[in-house]
Amino acid sequence: MSGGEKITVVKIGGNVIDNEAALDRFVRDFAQLPSPKVLIHGGGKLATRLAEQLEIPTTMVEGRRVTDEATLDVVTMVYAGLVNKRIVAKLQAQGCNALGFSGADGNMIPARRRNPEPIDYGFVGDISSSEINTTLLDTLLTSGITPVFCAITHDAKGTLLNSNADSVASAVAVASATIAPTNLVFCFEKQGVLRDVEDEGSVIGLITRADYPALRSEGVISKGMIPKIDNAFYAIESGVESVSIKHSEEVANPQAGTTIRNE
């Protein structure tokens, strides 16, 4: 890419995808962001609902879902098909030249199937930012394309894999930081990392590496927020300029939400 431009990588979470009004608003705001930019989307509850309708049993191991073959088909249909194409069509209608991707497309995100020992999670793929196809990413961004990724990847041997959308976002941001300075924004249905989960006004504006252990031991950062913050620190330590966590309605507001800094 020709120099000077910054790349914005945005992850939009599943709860926003389940709410059409919220998704439409987010899409309008995202379409207005300056290019070059990249969108990564989660799945939402559509896949769970479809699996239920198809009577595909859900197997949980240590609180995490196992992706068997039938489940892989469901998430491929919902994430790479329905959700990805709906978002792409909505962005196109807003004048944003979106192009949808699974990790198999253009070999953009090769993944490694997770070791089945000690726990076999099935068709789950772990990714490494160093394996992302930055040449193609650069070509697309230079052509004015906005890539839109779901979290379906592949093992490059013919098998699709289910990956974590936050991890895809971090890895894509790290890869994009080798092309141009990159900001990573995690958007979801809350105002940021909250000191009190019941109080949307209690946003923690800044989290540094030094703050993190105390926030975890106090239980302020727990459950699903832990991998998000881990991904954020990984991204910053790997060359991403800034990471923020904010409400989907604030995607265009640089002051909003929680900023993660490595100091």
Q: Which residues bind its own copies (CB under 8 A)?
A: 50, 53-54, 73, 76-82, 84-86, 88-90, 92-93, 97-102, 104-107, 136, 139, 143, 145, 152, 154, 156-160
The residue (of 13 and 103) whose beta carbon lies closer to its own copies is 103
- By beta-carbon proximity to its own copies, the closer residue of 175 and 235 is 175
Q: How far is the CB of 152 from its own copies (least distance, A)?
A: 6
The answer for residues whose C-beta is within 8 angstroms of residue 239's C-beta and 6 or more apart is: 174, 177, 178, 182
C-alpha angle 91/15/66, rounded to 5°?
110
Q: Report the alpha-carbon distance of residue 263 to residue 260 in Å, rounded.
A: 9
Specify the residue, 76 or 191, whose C-beta has the smaller distance to its own copies: 76
Smallest gap from residue 191 Cβ to its own copies (A): 28
| Other CB atoms within 10 A of residue 239 CB | 15
- In the complex with its own copies, the residue whose CB is nearer, 158 or 201, is 158
Nearest distance in Å: CB 78, its own copies:
6
Give the tokens for residue 213: 């252990």
Residue 258 near residue 204, CB atoms below 8 Å:
yes
Q: Where are the alpha helices (DSSP H) in 55-164?
A: 69-75, 84-93, 134-142
Task: Supply the minimum distance, in Å, between the C-beta of residue 224 and its own copies.
Answer: 25
